[in-house]
Amino acid sequence: MSVVVVTGANSGIGRAVAIHFAGLGHTVYGTVRHVDKAAKMKAMAADAGVEINVVELDVADDESVRTGFATVLEQTGGVVDVLVNNAGVGGNAVAEECPTSLYLDVMNVNLCGAVRCLQQVLPGMRERRAGTIVNITSVTGRIAALAQSPYVTSKWAFEGLSEGLAQELAPFGIRVVIVEPGVTKSAIFAKNIDAPNQTGAYDAAYRRMFQFYAAGIPAATDPVEVAKVIEQAITADEPKLRYAVSWGGPELVEGRARMSDEEWVALGNHEHDSDYYDDFEHRFKLSLRPS
């Protein structure tokens, strides 16, 4: 059995992954920003008959990451077999209206947070010539979702980091897995409701973005399905680098791959929502039209 560290384990995908891997018999450490707010996660783990070792760790802070992983490594004899970089935040805005401070804040969590964590475990993995880094990016790391510029930018950066990391670590026998969820049941959506729209010029972009989630959330995939994909990726004899999962994930990735760049730009040029929804469904086989 392996030692598995899951960041952002207090809710959504992270919590599901931590509980799932503990149920498989692995020793699981779940990181949370505040231990005193982890009661629900602990209760769900108890209901599942598993134990998760809870570690207080804020991926946005250098010292917090060093301290948290020092605790983990002390308890495991310096061994972490699997790191699941899951912790993340959303961020809605079009580029014209997004302060650079928001880009930096989102990037600090979604990109730099993962870098901080992997830097703590890679020396040991290299020494043992074994280990797996699982980076949970997003389907928005493959397709530039409307009116979520800081979030999209951070996830594209995380994809680039991950693709390069896979080559960097291949000589050491360390596996890198990129998991790209679409809409998955998670508390992040309830928190991600900002729509700056300061100029009023981008009404359509914000409206269509929220309609995407209005269509997707009722059909959102259980995060346990993401956990099962991660299990498959870790254990596969011939793993893939990327796994698109959850509602809209494969459809968006495959649909964008079929489109030319000119067709992609034209999708944003529809004046009427009904035309946009028709074109979107044609391209991605997903219906966004309000019922």
State the pLDDT at residue 210. Answer: 95
State the pLDDT at residue 189. Answer: 56
| Residue that has been written with the tokens 């995060």 in this structure | 223
State the pLDDT at residue 119. Answer: 98
State how far the Cα of 203 lies from the Cα of 190, in Å rounded to an integer: 20
Burial of 124 (C-beta count, 10 Å sphere; 0-12/13-18/19+): middle
State the pLDDT at residue 20. Answer: 98
Which of 25, 18, 30, 32 is CA-nearest to residue 2?
25
When pLDDT is averaged across residues 2-6 and rounded to a whole number, the result is 98
State the pLDDT at residue 197. Answer: 75
The pTM of this model reads: 0.95
When pLDDT is averaged across residues 173-177 and rounded to a whole number, the result is 98
Lookup: tokens for 188: 């992040």
State how far the Cα of 130 lies from the Cα of 180, in Å rounded to an integer: 23
SS3 of residue 119 by DSSP: helix
For residue 35, report the phi and psi dihedrals to the nearest 5 degrees.
-60, -35
8 Å CB contact between 44 and 15: yes
Which of 118, 112, 122 is CA-nearest to residue 158?
112
8 Å CB contact between 63 and 56: no
Residues 6+ apart with CB under 8 A from 165: 118, 133, 135, 176
When pLDDT is averaged across residues 184-189 and rounded to a whole number, the result is 76
Residue among 103, 151, 276, 277 flagged as catalytic: 151
Q: Considering the chain, what percentage of its residues have pLDDT values greater than 90?
A: 94
Lookup: tokens for 288: 């966004």
What kind and span of H or E run contains 262?
helix 261-267
Residues 6+ apart with CB under 8 A from 90: 106, 148, 151, 188, 189, 191, 192
Confidence of residue 193 (pLDDT cuts 50, 70, 90): low
Confidence of residue 191 (pLDDT cuts 50, 70, 90): low
Q: Is residue 11 predicted with pLDDT exceeding 60?
A: yes
When pLDDT is averaged across residues 240-247 and rounded to a whole number, the result is 98
State the pLDDT at residue 196. Answer: 77
Angle (deg, nearest 10), helices 149-169 and 100-107: 40
Which of 116, 121, 133 is CA-nearest to residue 63?
116
When pLDDT is averaged across residues 267-277 and rounded to a whole number, the result is 98
Q: Is residue 190 predicted with pLDDT exceeding 60?
A: no
8 Å CB contact between 159 and 273: no
Q: How many CB atoms lie within 10 A of CB 44?
A: 16
For residue 243, the cross-strand partners are 179
Q: Is residue 192 predicted with pLDDT exceeding 60?
A: no
Domains in the chain (CATH in brackets) are 3-202+221-256 (3.40.50.720)
Confidence of residue 181 (pLDDT cuts 50, 70, 90): very high
Checking 232-240 for CB contacts under 8 A at 24+ apart, the result is: 233/134, 233/177, 233/179, 234/82, 234/132, 234/134, 234/175, 234/177, 239/175, 239/177
151 catalytic? Reply is: yes
Burial of 276 (C-beta count, 10 Å sphere; 0-12/13-18/19+): buried
Lookup: tokens for 183: 């809409």
Q: Is residue 116 predicted with pLDDT exceeding 80?
A: yes
